[in-house]
Structure 1
Amino acid sequence: MISLILAESSLELVPEELQLHPSVVSHAQKLGKESSEILLDNSWHYAAMKEIKNEIKRGRPDLVHLSILEATTIPLYFENKVQVFIHTINDKIIYFGKNIRIPKSYHRFAGLFEKLFLEKTIKIKNQELLSIKDQSFSELINQINPSQIIGFSTMGNKSSFEKIGANLKNDSCIVVGGFQKGHFSDPIKKKFTDLFSVRNTSLESHVVVSRILYEYEKTIFM
């Protein structure tokens, strides 16, 4: 089984230093929640986010939603040939239960993951669907213990999805950035055995996820 990690993902609750900003308070009130209970989202909180650390890599939970949908609605996932993890910008790891269905509606996705951040686990009839824990990318890699760790970046060596997919081993780990702009931080890059670029310009995370998983899927099912 290969692994997919969406790394340094733009998925977090509004941090404490922004919770009293008018744009955050107003948005939270519209949702009927406290400022501390909603996802940071630059569509709503752009004015509040101007001074925070790593601004360009934060506040895009919609990108995470699209990427996770791409990874969990394909034959590879339903046949238990890929395990999916979200590593957040704040060093939290989100684990997925077996064959769970992520809401296709962004509104429902946001509500589900806000609940996860607050309650740490989502269960139905004693079956754990989602869980979250404080854990670094490095610790997750050590836990998975893959034979190769492949990252995607415009700074990598030139290749193609087809070539990379054809050469994946069944215990490989694919790492895709779960953020809008920028590059992987040094602690992430140091873990890669290979770093590839498939275009001179960047692609959105969900496009990379869908294309590399499809190419690997072809080696399994076709």
Structure 2
Amino acid sequence: MISLILAESSLELVPVNLQSHPSVISHARKLGKKTSEILLDNSWHFAAMKGLDNEIKRGRPDLVHFTILEATSIPLFFENKIEIFVHTINDKVIHIYPNVHIPKSYHRFAGLFEKLFIEKNIKTENHMLLSIKDQTFSELIEELNPSKIVGLSTKGKPSSVEKVTKDLSDESCIVIGGFQKGHFSDQVENKFSNLISVGNTSLEAHVITSRVLYEYEKTIFM
């Protein structure tokens, strides 16, 4: 089984220092929630986010939604051939368990993950669906102990999606950035066995995810 990590992902609740900003208060009222219980989203909180540390990597939970939806809607996931983790910009790690159905509606996705941040687990009577815990990227890698860690970035050595997937072994880990702009931090990049670029153009995480996982499926199912 391979692992997919969406690293330094733009997924978090509104930070304490932004919770009193008028844009955050207004948005929370519309949702009928406390300002501490909603996802940071620059579509609504752009004014509040000005000057925030790592601003270009934050406030885009929709990108995480697209990517998770892509990765959990394919045969590789249905056949339990992949483990999926979301490492957030604030060093929390979300484990997406087998058989979970990620809502296609962004509104429902946001509500589900807001609940996850607060309650720490989402489960049925018999199955864990989602869990979250405080964990750095390095700690996650240590826990998974993969045979190879492949980071995908425009900074990497030029290659192709086909070559990347053909070189993956059963215990490999693929790492894709879960943010809109910028590059992996040194703390993340230093853990990679290989840093690879699969194109000259910067593509969004869900596009890279769909291409890589489809090519990997071809190596094991076809």
**TM-score category of the 2 structures, normalised to the smaller one:** over 0.9
Letter in 1 for 2:110: A
Aligned to 1:199: 199
* Offset of residue 98 of structure 1: 1.7
Consecutive unaligned residues in structure 2, runs of 5 or more: none
* CA shift digits 1:59-111 (9 cap, x unpaired): 00000000001100000001011000000000000012222111011000000
**Most deviating of 124-133 and 39-48:** 124-133
* Offset of residue 16 of structure 1: 0.3
After TM superposition, what 4+ stretches of structure 1 lie above 2 angstroms from structure 2?
Answer: none
* Offset of residue 127 of structure 1: 2.1
* Offset of residue 126 of structure 1: 4.1
Consecutive unaligned residues in structure 1, runs of 5 or more: none
TM-score (norm 2): 0.99
Aligned to 1:134: 134
2 CA distance for matches of 1:207 and 1:217? 15
2 CA distance for matches of 1:49 and 1:67? 23
Alignment of 1:31-42 (within 5 A): 31-42=31-42
Alignment of 1:3-22 (within 5 A): 3-22=3-22
Aligned to 2:27: 27
Aligned to 2:121: 121
SS of the residue 2:95 aligns to: strand
SS of the residue 1:155 aligns to: strand
* Offset of residue 200 of structure 1: 1.6
SS of the residue 1:83 aligns to: strand
SS of the residue 2:103 aligns to: coil
Aligned to 1:184: 184
2 CA distance for matches of 1:92 and 1:143? 14
1:209 aligned to 2:188?
no
SS of the residue 2:191 aligns to: coil
In percent, how many aligned pairs have the same letter?
72
Letter in 2 for 1:37: E
1 CA distance for matches of 2:186 and 2:153? 13
SS of the residue 1:25 aligns to: helix
1 CA distance for matches of 2:99 and 2:152? 26
RMSD: 0.7
TM-score (norm 1): 0.99
2 CA distance for matches of 1:81 and 1:196? 23
* Offset of residue 125 of structure 1: 1.3
SS of the residue 1:4 aligns to: strand
Whether the 8 Å CA contact 2:84–2:97 is kept in 1: the answer is no
2 CA distance for matches of 1:145 and 1:211? 25
2 CA distance for matches of 1:188 and 1:70? 23
Alignment of 1:59-138 (within 5 A): 59-138=59-138
Equivalent pairs counted in the alignment come to 222
1:160 aligned to 2:160?
yes
SS of the residue 2:83 aligns to: strand
Letter in 1 for 2:219: T
